[in-house]
C-alpha cells in the first residue's frame, strides 16, 4: 500500500527543478558544516541586529504522564509589530518574509529548490527554517525534495524537524517551510518530552520502512512510524513513503480527491528515529495557539495570564482540544 501512495505523491509533486532565480551557480552545503555555519551566522545576525531572540521565562507542567515545558513569552509584541512593517509580498499578495529573504539570516543552500535561514524571531537558539526557493503554498503536500532538504539538516544536526500544515496547524507564513530545532529541547537535558510516551505503542502494521502504530498514552488521533531505513542513500524517499503511509492511515490523503493538497490540517514531527503525524481540528483553544512543538511537549504562552489559563486547562487536555478525537 505504501509504495503506490509514495509514488503518487512523488510523481504529482516532483515537477522539473526550478533553478535559482538569480541564475547564479549555487554553493551547496558541504557535509559536516551546517552546525558551524548556523552558529557563525547566529553570531553575525545578532551583532548586526537581524536576529531578534524573544526572551522567555519557563515552567514545567505535568499531565498524562508527560512533563511539558511551558515558555512564557516576554516580548511577543515586538514580533507582531515587526510583521506589520514587512513590505515584501508573495505572488498571492500576502506578507512573505522569504521573498526576498534577509541575507543576514541566510545559513546555507541545501539544494536547487531549498535553502536554510535562521528564524528571525527565535525562542529556541539556532532555530532553522528550511524554505522553498520559489513560492509554494504551506498547505500543499510535502514532496521528495522537501524531505531531502530536511534530511540534509537532520544528518548534520541532531534535532527535531517539524511542519505546520497551514494556519489551522499553527503556520504563520503561507510560503512553504519546514523547521528544525536542535536537541535537547529541555534545559534539564531531556531531548523531547513526548518521547517517553512513544515507547508504549500499540503497533498496527509493519512496513519496509518501519512499524506503524499509536502511543497508548496520547489521547488524540495520531500516527507514529519507527524509521528503520534512514541510514541509506535513499533516506529522503523512505521519509516520503513513511509520510504518505501515515497520511493515508489518518485519512489525510486520497489521490482520488486531491494529489496536491491534504484532506485536512496536521502537524508533522520528524527525528532521526521516528515520524509523528497529528491531524488538527483547530489552531487554538481558549486563545492559546498550538503548533507542532506543542505535540513534542513544549508550549508557548503570551503572558502569565495565559499560563494560569493553561494550568487550569491542563497541557494534555489542551492538545486534545486542538487535535482530533481517537
Give pLDDT, residue 13.
Answer: 41
Q: How confident is the model at residue 229 (pLDDT cuts 50, 70, 90)?
A: low
How confident is the model at residue 88, as a pLDDT?
45
Please compute the mean of the pLDDT values over residues 108-115 and round it to a whole number: 97
- Residue 284, pLDDT score: 97
Q: What is the mean pLDDT of residues 128-146?
A: 96
Joined together, the cell numbers standing for residue 70 give 511551558
Q: In the sheet where 266-270 sits, what is the strand order? A: 106-109, 114-118, 128-132, 177-182, 159-164, 266-270, 274-279, 223-226, 212-215, 201-205
Please give the backbone phi and psi of residue 204, each rounded to the nearest 5 degrees, phi first.
-110, -35
Handedness of CA 271, 276, 281, 285 (dihedral sign): negative
Contact (CB, 8 A) for 144 and 8: no
How far apart, in whole angstroms, are the C-alpha atoms of residue 111 and residue 306? 41
Per-residue pLDDT at 171 exceeds 60? yes
The better pLDDT of the pair 137, 232 is held by 137
The answer for residues whose C-beta is within 8 angstroms of residue 162's C-beta and 6 or more apart is: 178, 179, 180, 181, 267, 268, 269, 270, 291, 292, 293, 296
Residue pair 137/198 in contact (Cβ under 8 Å)? The answer is no
The stretch 273-289 carries a mean pLDDT of: 97
Average of per-residue pLDDT across 258-272: 91
Give the Cα separation of 236 and 145 in Å (integer).
Answer: 8
Q: Is the dihedral of CA 223, 229, 235, 238 positive or negative?
A: negative
d(CA 48, CA 216): 48
Query: How far apart (Å, rounded) are the C-alpha atoms in residues 140 and 70?
Result: 30
Q: Residue 185 above 90 pLDDT?
A: yes
Please give the mean pLDDT across all residues of the chain.
Answer: 88
Which pLDDT score, from 0 to 100, does residue 46 have?
Answer: 98
Across residues 307-326, what is the average pLDDT? 97
Chain-centroid distance of CA 89 in Å reads: 23
Amino acid 78: pLDDT: 57
pLDDT-based confidence at 8, cuts 50/70/90?
very low
Q: What is the pLDDT of residue 184?
A: 96
Instruction: Give the three-state DSSP class for 274.
Output: strand
pLDDT of residue 232: 72
pLDDT band for position 10 (cuts 50, 70, 90): very low
* Mean pLDDT value of segment 264-278: 97
Q: What is the mean pLDDT of residues 268-278?
A: 97
Q: What are the structural domains, with CATH classification, of the chain?
A: 2-6+35-322 (3.30.428.70)
Place of cell 487554538: 284
pLDDT > 90 fraction of the chain, expressed in percent and rounded: 74
Q: Which three cell numbers stand for residue 318?
A: 489542551
The mean pLDDT value for 39-61 works out to 96
State yes or no: pLDDT of 314 exceeds 60.
yes
Q: Give the DSSP per-residue string, 124-165.
A: STT-EEEEESS--BTTSPP-HHHHHHHHHHHHHS-EEEEEE-
Whether the pLDDT of residue 264 is over 50: the answer is yes
Mean pLDDT of 305-314: 97
Q: What is the pLDDT of residue 198?
A: 94
Amino acid at each position: 500500500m505504501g509504495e503506490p501512495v509514495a509514488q503518487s505523491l512523488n510523481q504529482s509533486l516532483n515537477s522539473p527543478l526550478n533553478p535559482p532565480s538569480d541564475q547564479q551557480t549555487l554553493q551547496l552545503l558541504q557535509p559536516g558544516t551546517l552546525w558551524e555555519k548556523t552558529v557563525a551566522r547566529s553570531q553575525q545576525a545578532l551583532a548586526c541586529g537581524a536576529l531578534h531572540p524573544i526572551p522567555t521565562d519557563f515552567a514545567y507542567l505535568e499531565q498524562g504522564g508527560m512533563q511539558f515545558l511551558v515558555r512564557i513569552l516576554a516580548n511577543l509584541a515586538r514580533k507582531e509589530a515587526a510583521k506589520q512593517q514587512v513590505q515584501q509580498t508573495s505572488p498571492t499578495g500576502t506578507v512573505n518574509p522569504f521573498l526576498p529573504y534577509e541575507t543576514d539570516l541566510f545559513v546555507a543552500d541545501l539544494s536547487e529548490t531549498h535553502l536554510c535561514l535562521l528564524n528571525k524571531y527565535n525562542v529556541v537558539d539556532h532555530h532553522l527554517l528550511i524554505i522553498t526557493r520559489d513560492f509554494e503554498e504551506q498547505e500543499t503536500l510535502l514532496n521528495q525534495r522537501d524531505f531531502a532538504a530536511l534530511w540534509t539538516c537532520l544528518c548534520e544536526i541532531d534535532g527535531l524537524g517539524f511542519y505546520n500544515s497551514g494556519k489551522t496547524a499553527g503556520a504563520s507564513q503561507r510560503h512553504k517551510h519546514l523547521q528544525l530545532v536542535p536537541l535537547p529541547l529541555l534545559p534539564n537535558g531531556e531531548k523531547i518530552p513526548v518521547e517517553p510516551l512513544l515507547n508504549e505503542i500499540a503497533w498496527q502494521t509493519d512496513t519496509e520502512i518501519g512499524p506503524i502504530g499509536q502511543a497508548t498514552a496520547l489521547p488524540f488521533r495520531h500516527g507514529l512510524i519507527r524509521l528503520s531505513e534512514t541510514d541509506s542513500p535513499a533516506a529522503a524517499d523512505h521519509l516520503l513513503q513513511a509520510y504518505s503511509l501515515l497520511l493515508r492511515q489518518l485519512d489525510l490523503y486520497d489521490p482520488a480527491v486531491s494529489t496536491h493538497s491534504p484532506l485536512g490540517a496536521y502537524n508533522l514531527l520528524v527525528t532521526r528515529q521516528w515520524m509523528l503525524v497529528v491531524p488538527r481540528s483547530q489552531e487554538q483553544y481558549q486563545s492559546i495557539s498550538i503548533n507542532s512543538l506543542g505535540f513534542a511537549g513544549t508550549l508557548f504562552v503570551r503572558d502569565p495570564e495565559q499560563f494560569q489559563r493553561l494550568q487550569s486547562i491542563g497541557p494534555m487536555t489542551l492538545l486534545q482540544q486542538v487535535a482530533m478525537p481517537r
